Structures are given as structure tokens and as C-alpha cells.
Chain A
Amino acid sequence: MSLRVEDLTVYYQTLRGDVRALESATFSLADGEIMGLAGESGCGKSTLSNSLIRLAPPMKHIKGRVILDDQELPIADLHAMNEYRFTEISVVPQYAMNAMNPTRKIGKMAEELLRSRGIDARKALPELERRLDLVELDHDVLKMYPIEMSGGMKQRMVMVLSTLMDPSLLLADEITSALDVSTQKAVAKMLVGFRDREIVKSIVVITHDMSILYQIADGIMIMYAGQLAEKASTETIIHSPRHPYTKLLITSLPKVGVKHDEVRLKGIPGNPPLLLDPPTGCRFRERCPLAFEPCMDVPPFVEIEPNHFVACWKEGGANA
């Protein structure tokens, strides 16, 4: 078991009160697993990812533990986490396009990052160049400034930089969102390559793009309004989802072979709730076609089949 998250709850502190962005998340990640984390904007995907690596104000750790490779991470302690960042857990941030210092050559930046961990950059150079090959970047990029690179190049460069210390877990936050479709696929494949070559042990891919997950993820976890909705293997999520939100989400995706000027693409009526003062119980209740009496209580996230977790009273919850 690479990563275990237990009952993790993180709120944003604002002047108008706490925004309950992540509520009692419990899940685990197998060694070598690439897990997709999907859901609509504001559902808490990035909050979950950020709290694993840098839980900084206005985020506030309410409760819960994170265990990575049998070590508990001090996620609530900004300073103590430094020891684990980059070496054990690393991130390709959402803003990868702007993640590099505009006035530093990339090689220089890599050198300074490595030196901050006590590694001689000259000795690490062959490995660095090998990884540039892996993401199909020319070795000359090390002599370039970020402005001299295209968006896709920057994205790949940040992937290399973030994984220089061979972290156990890599968080890839919306890494394909700003890229065109062909580049998306290439970048996604490279991510798989990093796992296959055991540069990183496991990866969490955060995205709202289900098609990318279908291509690369071993499992998918669906979030809704700060709560975990469903987690299962990719096949199961795509072909036999059990949570009503997942079902609606999947049917709202366009399918190959269906002409959508003939068959109107379905959406999910309504909007997600505001997390400043979320409804009690299941947060999908208001939009759920199946909602009934028990939904006034929060449904537990239970394993209804091996490796298939659902938080819904109609499903696992009824049997539990």
C-alpha cells in the first residue's frame, strides 16, 4: 500500500466562515497505481491534492491522517513537511506553465533545486539528461529560459523537475488541461512512462477530463462537493458505475459513433451546492434522481465489491 488517507478533512478559513472543501476522505492507493481523481470544478480535487503536499493557510487541517509508505506525513506542519516534499511526495502543479522562474535558466534552476537537497548537480546531470530523453526534450533546454519554451515543453520540463528526487507519490494536477489533444495524449503517456520506469511509485492524476483517465488510469475516484462519491477500477467506473452522480457524469460524456445533433447530450440538472454552508447528509441529494429519506444522513464510503467503493444509501449503504 503506497498511500493511505484516513478521514482527511480540510476546510478553507474565510471571513464568512469555513468552506468545507474536503470532508472525511478515506481511500488508499496501491503500489504502482495511477489513480485518476475526477469531478467538476470546485469539488475538492485540488484541495485534496494540495493538502497532501502543502497545506497552507487559508487551508486548515481539521482531522485525518495521511500515511505514505508506512510513515505518517506531518501534513498540518508546513515546516516539517519540507523533509517529505520533493523526496517522497511531489507535484506537477496546475500552473506548470508559470512554475519556472522567468529569469533563471532551466538547468540553473534544476541545479539549485538539487543542491538544496544536498545533491551535486554535475553528478546528477547524466540522469537528468536521460529523463529529458524520456519526455522527448532536447538537452539544450537546460540552457534555455522558460519563455523560450512552448507550453507543452514547459509542462514536460516541470514533470522532469518535480520527479528529480524519485518521489514515491506524484500528484499531477490538471497537467493536460492547457494542452491541445495530441499533446495531451503524449504528456499522459509520458506520465505512465515515469511509473513504468519506477521513477515514481504511484501517481494521482487530477483532472476533469475523463477521456485522459480512461487512457492512463488504473483506477478512478470521483468526488462531488467535497465528498468522495465512488472509487473503482477505470473499467468499472466507465462501464458499470454505481453511484448516481458517476452514472450521470458518464452519460454526460460524448460517445464515439453517436451523432449529438440527433441525440442530445445529457447534462446533470442543477448546480453543486455552495460549500460555505453545505446541506447536511449526502451533498448530491438535491440533484439526485434517486434521493430518498436516508439521504438526510451522510452515506458511508463502503466497499460494495472488492476495490469498488461507493458512498450512496441506495447502493452499499443499504446493505451495510
Chain B
Amino acid sequence: MKRYFGRKLLIYVITFFLAVTIDWLIPRLMPGDPIQNMLARAALNANAAERMYTYYTHAFQLDLPVWQQYLSFWNALLHGDLGISTYLFPTPVVDIIKAAVPFDIFLLLPAILLSWWAGNKFGAYAARTKRLDNTVLPIAYLLTATPYMWLGILLAWVFGIILGWLPIAGAYSYTMGTDLSWAFVGSVLKHWILPFLSLFLVGFGGWAIGMRNMIIYELEADYSHYLEALGAPRKLIRKYAFRNAILPQLSGLALQLGVIVAGALVTEVVFSYPGIGYLILSAIQNQDYFLVQGCFLFIIIGVLLANFLIDIAFVIVDPRTRKGMVGE
């Protein structure tokens, strides 16, 4: 057991190192110059711009050799410093991300968990109900094949524009302060419904189809046939099939939970929802090395953490993984 997790942990550490290195490298391969970009927003005369440019390039250490930038990046990172954003200068990257993450969690955690739960339940149910299998499942196929943004735009158009029931942009009303009042909570919930729904529906369709196919596969497995030959009640057979069919769904869930801090880029863009997804887009558009790095760092940590948690969960629910641990 200890050895198994020790080995896993080592793999995660190596993965983290490589991923962070790539994360550092990728923004620097973008064409363009973050400082120029930042200064372009301020109206300066040519002379001042030149001096400012030199100053900031030095301040952000972009004049140093690349290997020195890399080392000081790791040094800062290990001290919990993600740098200063050039796009939202002079706010530290950590603060920007801290402000965005709650929105992501608030939007994505319910969307992912509920769509997983409901999709699996529904898929398992559809697998043994012919009528449902023939009517509702095609709709699930349609849903899961729908691009998030298209469904998002469609929802915004129907419920926001035509019916006018729900707001279509932002996380709360722009005219409102962020003080905690009932009106504010109501506004947040109202703004939450449409992005949530677009994520939930697409996820739901995917999970339902996956579960339906897995259940059908498990019901054809030898152990199911054996139970049938022994005249075991349908309930017991379904229980066994469900328990085994849920395993691959569980690793799928892990992957989704891992990118939770990444937000749902297109959905957030469609609904102007101020999560990390929205932030990544702005950061890339403005060549903000530090903000891009910071966002991706959170994604990396999220993915690794979620995978590690699922590794542990698997050891608990699937005895076959436990066998592998003592094997070597």
C-alpha cells in the first residue's frame, strides 16, 4: 500500500515538474510582447514609452537570459509568488485568480456532480427500459454532441432574449454591489442558471450514454448470466451491474473535476462569467505571461489532485487495483 502510493506520488511529482515547465515555456513562445501590450493601453509619448518599456522589461526580468528567467520563476513559485499581472497591472496574479476561482467552483462543481449523478442514474434506467431507450436516449446523443457554446447561445437567446426571463451576462447584476444581501444572492442565482444549464445538459447526455452502454455490457457479462441462471432477483443483478459499470464513469468524473478550476472557457465567454476560463482568454489576448502561467498552474494542480483522489477512491471500490499493489 505504502509502496503503491509512494510510486504514484513520485509520478505525480515528475508530472508536475514537466507540466509546470511547459506552462512556463508556452506563453513565451507566443508572438508579441507583454510589456508593449501593457504600455499600448496607456497613452504615452514616444520618449516616455521607451523609458517605461526599459523599466518594465527590467522589472519583470524579461531582459534576463531565458535560463535565468526559468530559475527565478521556480524560485518565486516555490515561495508562493506567481508574479504581477501585466494585463491587470499592478494586481498580483494570485489575487486575480483568487477572485475568479469561487465563481468557477460555484458554477462547475454543481454542474459536473449533478450531471454525473443524474446522467448515470438515467443511463442505468434507460438501459433496462426499452421505451426510454428508444425515445430519450437519442436526445441524450443530441445533447452530448452539442458544442457547449452553441447550446449556451441557444439558451441565452431563448430564455434571455425571447422570453426575457433570465439575464445572459455576468455573474451578478452590474448595478449591484457585492455586499451580501438577499437581493445580491438572488441576482447571483439568476445569473447562474443559464451557464449551469448549458453545462449540465451537455454533461448529462454524455454520462447517460456512457452508463447505458456500460450497463448493457455488464448485464451480458458472465456473472450476470450466472445470477440469472440461479434465478436471482432482477434487483440484485442490476445492483451488481451498476456497481461495476460505475467504475469507468468514476475515472471520467475525476478528469472533469480536475479541470474545474480551469472553468468552462467557452461557456464563461458566452455568458461573460468571470471565472478562470474567461480570465485565460483575456490573459492570452493580452499576452500576460504571468496570468496565463498562474491560471494553468491551478489547472495542473487541480488535475493532479483529482487524479490522486480518484486513485485512492479506486483502491476502495475496486479490489482489482488492490491486487496490483501487492503484486510487486
Contacts and interface: CB of A to CB of B under 8 A. Distances in A.
Interface of A: 53-54, 56, 81-87, 90-91, 93, 95, 98-105, 112-113, 116, 145, 147-148, 158, 161-162
A99 B233 contact: no
Contacts of B232: 86, 112-113, 116
B interface secondary structure, majority: helix
Interface residues of B, number: 22
Q: Which 8 A-B pairs have the closest CB atoms?
A: A85-B231, A98-B222, A99-B226, A82-B231, A145-B319, A95-B222, A86-B230, A101-B223
Given A95-B225, A98-B223, A147-B323, A103 B243 contact: yes
A239 B190 CA distance: 87
Nearest to A105: B319
A148 B227 CA distance: 20
Interface string B313-328: 0000111100100000
A100 B221 CA distance: 10
Given A84-B231, A86-B231, A103-B318, A148 B323 contact: yes
A93 B222 contact: yes
Given A100-B226, A103-B320, 20 more contacts: A82-B231, A83-B231, A86-B231, A86-B232, A90-B229, A93-B229, A95-B226, A98-B221, A102-B223, A103-B244, A103-B319, A105-B319, A112-B232, A113-B227, A113-B230, A113-B236, A147-B319, A147-B320, A147-B323, A162-B230
Nearest to A94: B222
A85 B232 CA distance: 9
Contacts of B240: 101, 104
A203 to B, nearest CB: 16
B81 interface: no
Nearest to B243: A103
A95 B222 CA distance: 7
B228 interface: yes
A104 B227 CA distance: 13
Interface of B: 221-223, 225-233, 236, 240, 243-244, 247, 317-320, 323
B240 to A, nearest CB: 5
Contact of B226 (A82, A83, A93): A93
A16 B4 CA distance: 53
Contacts of B221: 98
Contacts, number: 72
A147 B317 CA distance: 14
A101 B240 CA distance: 7
A116 B225 contact: no
Contacts of A158: 226
A84 B231 CA distance: 8
A112 B236 contact: yes
Nearest to B319: A145
Contacts of A86: 230-232
Nearest to B231: A85
Contacts of A102: 223, 244, 319-320
A99 B221 CA distance: 9
Nearest to B239: A112
Nearest to A96: B226
Contacts of A56: 228
10 contacts: A81-B231, A83-B231, A86-B231, A90-B229, A93-B222, A98-B222, A103-B320, A145-B323, A148-B319, A161-B230
A81 B231 CA distance: 8
A147 B323 CA distance: 8
A101 B241 CA distance: 9
A282 to B, nearest CB: 33
A99 B222 contact: yes
A93 B225 contact: yes
B128 to A, nearest CB: 15
B49 to A, nearest CB: 67
Nearest to B224: A101
